[in-house]
Amino acid sequence: MFSKILIANRGEIACRVIKTARKMGIKTVAVYSEADKDALHVEMADEAVFIGPPPAAQSYLIAEKIVEACKLTGAEAVHPGYGFLSERASFPQMLAEHGIVFIGPNPHAIEAMGDKIESKKAAAAAKVSTVPGYLGEIATGEEAARIADEIGYPVMIKASAGGGGKGMRIAHSRDEVQDGFDRARSEAKSSFGDDRVFVEKFIVDPRHIEIQVLGDKHGNVIYLGERECSIQRRNQKVVEEAPSPLLDEATRKKMGEQAVALAKAVGYDSAGTVEFVAGQDKSFYFLEMNTRLQVEHPVTELITGIDLVEQMIRVAAGEPLTVTQDDVKLTGWAVESRIYAEDPYRNFLPSTGRLVRYRPPQEGKDGPITVRNDTGVYEGGEISIFYDPMIAKLVTHAPTRAMAIEAQADALDAFAIDGIGHNIPFLSALMAHPRWQDGRLSTGFIAEEYPDGFFPRAPEGELVHYLSAVAAVVDHIQNTRKRQISGQTSGVPVAFAKRRIVNLSAGEDTIATPCEVEAVDGGYKVQIFDTDGNPGHAHLLRSSWKPGEPVWTGTIDADQVAMQVRPITNGYALAHRGIATKARVYTELSAGLAALMPKKENAGGGKELLCPMPGLVVSIAVTPGQEVKNGEILAIVEAMKMENVLRAERDGIIKAVHAKPGDSLAVDAVILEFA
């Protein structure tokens, strides 16, 4: 076994590998760019080596720097994580030349399976069902359009060396093929240094299901069940689960055996994933093979009890697998949410900045529920523009799918992040979505269910009382505390009105809930009244919450509840189960006066194109004086390895252009003006 390994990666996956290495008694070496000098993985590792400037192409993607770091520290092996150099066959070859072990598959398997075009040819030769498409290299957009016409629309344009949704476009027409081809090639070149793309038929209403395989250097290969990864946005996975609610045992076995046959055909000898696109009728077709550890590997670990990183290390050291196919048992259900630095209210545009507050839920096992949080950040740390926007992967495991989803919803409600935009509100709303809860999934789920973008759920049903009760109790605690401040003016004590009106914002509307709060033994009784003043249900709230804490955690009657609480004028911003609302707590007199206040109208003429996120200007497609039509491309801005096309939302004339290619812009910076 190795005594020291180097992790050629950053962020949460570097931290994840360090945890297992530490458990195995193996020392670790981190590498870091200038942007990551204060990163968590650098702090966690036993040693750290600086490898260059922030852009990955000048640091994490330079194999020679990794080799130098190994020589400097005496690391015997390298774990590549995912992304960066993990699927580049030349990397393990270079390591081998210097006597360093690669913790991953052999170069032949990476070449055969890591290349999306070659892997489809290999799969077809191994009698694995494949999606109709053109597997050769395509030189021009015109050629891509001709091939797409022959295959039939819609088609998928995909980078041969791609992964993680990068270099991928869906085209529904000939015109979209041309633009998609150019964008896919550009993204592929910048992300992977390889601009080859191919075209294949896009399966309508598909599901994305993948099989985890594990092989050793002695010819043994097993599969560890499947993962459902159909909840995607822009081809980027958002929520994963294991097992899949679609598959039955017979289909699982068939998919697993095909995956193993393919892995054996190329002599696969590490952890890897065979991805399939599946129809709602349980038909499935080979999509690609990822010759590395997957981002979503924790859900498989939780249902199988097998540490995949540990197995990768042991296999790389030459040990045979100690687990046979008959030993693999799937227990319970696991759900993983990817928490990204992005603003769900601005079409999920990337968000960067400092994590002013980062308080994940408590990890560990509580009865039948397990909560796990894989992360590479910490409170006070910086979310950089240069890398993937992932903050954490929140995973829950329970005996059933419904329980795992409920546990995930609870954990998301208890996850406090301030300082940047993040997608927890969207993930929380998703957990409450009936279609998700029923398992009626497809890769088009988000586009179909949120066609106009994401907006927070409005308070409704029993949750109106829960939100109002928490706001009333928090306000009561704050008022009680204020009365205890010393040095107050003496005289007649202030008589505080007992009745409170909690106004919850619901879009343009307000939901008013009259209530009274009474301290009882170990908690608070909140009596709810209807609008006519008649008493309704009374709720008992118990919590150890203290002013200043961002999450109210406790019980409402018999229900365990976690709720985000942030102070605002006359109340609190609350978030719970995907509902985001402002709760203003008034006396009856104040509520009446507040209702008379005029509403502030938003001003703005839409005369400027603003940069929607911090990013780098890739290109400007217009010049001053040029006429543009609705939908025409104005500029392309790159952020966190993704190119974002900014289009005209109406016809107009360009008055002035304030940015140029290569400019680094802040959010809402003016790119150009319309006349």
Distance of alpha carbon 352 from alpha carbon 427, whole angstroms: 19
Q: How far is CA 201 from CA 59, 147, 287, 649, in A?
A: 36, 10, 11, 30
Q: What is the mean pLDDT of the chain?
A: 92
Return the pLDDT at 603.
46
Task: Please list, in sequence order, all residues whose beta carbon lies within 8 angstroms of the beta carbon of residue 254, skipping any fewer than 6 positions away.
Answer: none
Return the pLDDT at 605.
54
CATH architecture of 462-483+496-595: 2-Layer Sandwich (3.30)
Q: Do the beta carbons of residue 424 and residue 412 sit within 8 Å?
A: yes
Distance of alpha carbon 192 from alpha carbon 364, whole angstroms: 37
Average pLDDT over residues 424-434: 96
CATH class of the structural domain 608-674: mainly beta
- Highest mean pLDDT out of 6-15, 164-173, 472-481: 6-15
**37-46, 113-122, 269-278, 631-640: which has the minimum mean pLDDT?**
113-122
Average pLDDT over residues 181-207: 86
Which tens digits make up the pLDDT trace of 486-513?
A: 887 777 776 778 899 999 999 889 999 9
Superfamily for 209-449?
ATP-grasp fold, B domain (3.30.470.20)
What is the bridge-based pairing of β-strands 166-171 and 155-163? antiparallel
- β-partners of residue 319 are none
380: left (phi over 0), alpha (psi -120 to 50) or beta: left
Asked if residue 164 has pLDDT above 70, the reply is no
Residue 286 CB: number of other CB atoms within 10 A? 23
Q: Do the beta carbons of residue 501 and residue 614 sit within 8 Å?
A: no
Confidence tier at 291 by pLDDT (50, 70, 90):
very high
Confidence tier at 102 by pLDDT (50, 70, 90):
very high
Residue 210: its H or E element: strand 207-215
Distance of alpha carbon 142 from alpha carbon 160, whole angstroms: 18
Asked if residue 210 has pLDDT above 80, the reply is yes
Average pLDDT over residues 189-207: 85
Distance of alpha carbon 245 from alpha carbon 432, whole angstroms: 17
Sign of CA dihedral 38, 42, 47, 51: negative
Closest CA to 222 of 121, 300, 149: 300
Average pLDDT over residues 394-401: 98
Asked if residue 582 has pLDDT above 50, the reply is yes
Before 154, cis peptide (omega within 30)? yes
DSSP 8-state code for residue 130: B
Percent with pLDDT over 70 in the chain: 98
Which tens digits make up the pLDDT trace of 592-606?
A: 898 888 776 544 456
Q: Which residues of 73-101 are buried (b: 16+ CB within 10 A; e: fewer)?
A: bebbbbbbbbbbbbbbbebbebbeeeebb
Residue 506 CB: number of other CB atoms within 10 A? 17
Closest CA to 37 of 360, 386, 309, 422: 386
Residue 376 has which token pair? 């590479």
CATH class of the structural domain 132-201: alpha beta
Closest CA to 455 of 578, 631, 307: 578
Confidence tier at 261 by pLDDT (50, 70, 90):
very high
Q: Do the beta carbons of residue 466 and residue 528 sit within 8 Å?
A: no
Instruction: Write down the pTM of the prediction.
Output: 0.83
Task: Please list, in sequence order, all residues whose beta carbon lies within 8 angstroms of the beta carbon of residue 247, skipping any fewer than 6 positions away.
Answer: 209, 226, 255, 282
- Fold match between 4-103 and 462-483+496-595? no
- β-partners of residue 595 are none
Asked if residue 37 has pLDDT above 60, the reply is yes
CATH class of the structural domain 4-103: alpha beta
406 an active-site residue? Answer: no
Distance of alpha carbon 475 from alpha carbon 486, whole angstroms: 20
Q: Do the beta carbons of residue 115 and residue 125 sit within 8 Å?
A: no
Average pLDDT over residues 142-164: 86
Asked if residue 228 has pLDDT above 90, the reply is yes
Q: Which of 288, 296, 638, 643 is catalytic?
A: 288
Angle at 20 between CA 19 and CA 24, to 5 degrees: 120
Residue 136 has which token pair? 């050769």
Asked if residue 638 has pLDDT above 90, the reply is no
Which tens digits make up the pLDDT trace of 305-314?
A: 999 999 999 9
Task: Please list, in sequence order, all residues whose beta carbon lies within 8 angstroms of the beta carbon of residue 316, skipping any fewer than 6 positions away.
Answer: 2, 77, 101, 102, 103, 104, 270
Is 225 in a helix, a strand, or coil?
strand
Asked if residue 32 has pLDDT above 60, the reply is yes
Which tens digits make up the pLDDT trace of 355-370?
A: 999 999 999 999 999 9
Return the pLDDT at 604.
46
Whole-number CA gyration radius for the chain: 27
285 phi/psi in degrees, rounded to 5: -135, 140
Is 651 in a helix, a strand, or coil?
coil
Q: Do the beta carbons of residue 241 and residue 427 sit within 8 Å?
A: no
**Dihedral of the CA atoms 422, 424, 426, 430 (nearest 10)?**
150
Closest CA to 442 of 209, 204, 230, 280: 230
Task: Please list, in sequence order, all residues whose beta carbon lies within 8 angstroms of the beta carbon of residue 109, skipping any fewer than 6 positions away.
Answer: 263, 266, 267, 268, 269, 270, 272, 291
Which tens digits make up the pLDDT trace of 440-484?
A: 999 999 999 999 889 888 999 999 999 999 999 999 999 888 887
Task: Please list, in sequence order, all residues whose beta carbon lies within 8 angstroms of the beta carbon of residue 337, skipping any fewer than 6 positions away.
Answer: 238, 239, 393, 394, 395, 408, 412, 427
Asked if residue 252 has pLDDT above 50, the reply is yes
Return the pLDDT at 600.
61
Q: Do the beta carbons of residue 92 and residue 70 sit within 8 Å?
A: no
**306-310, 334-338, 573-577, 633-637: which has the minimum mean pLDDT?**
633-637
Angle at 13 between CA 10 and CA 14, to 5 degrees: 50
Q: Write down the domain spans for the chain.
A: 4-103, 132-201, 209-449, 462-483+496-595, 608-674
Average pLDDT over residues 47-53: 98
459 phi/psi in degrees, rounded to 5: -60, 135
Higher pLDDT: 256 or 343? It is: 256
500 phi/psi in degrees, rounded to 5: -125, 150
Asked if residue 115 has pLDDT above 80, the reply is no
Q: Do the beta carbons of residue 271 and residue 304 sit within 8 Å?
A: no
**114-128, 387-401, 595-609: which has the minimum mean pLDDT?**
595-609
Q: Do the beta carbons of residue 61 and residue 387 sit within 8 Å?
A: no
Return the pLDDT at 139.
87
Amino acid at 437: Q
Q: How far is CA 505 from CA 511, 561, 625, in A?
A: 6, 20, 44
Return the pLDDT at 452.
86
Average pLDDT over residues 185-208: 86
Residue 628 CB: number of other CB atoms within 10 A? 19
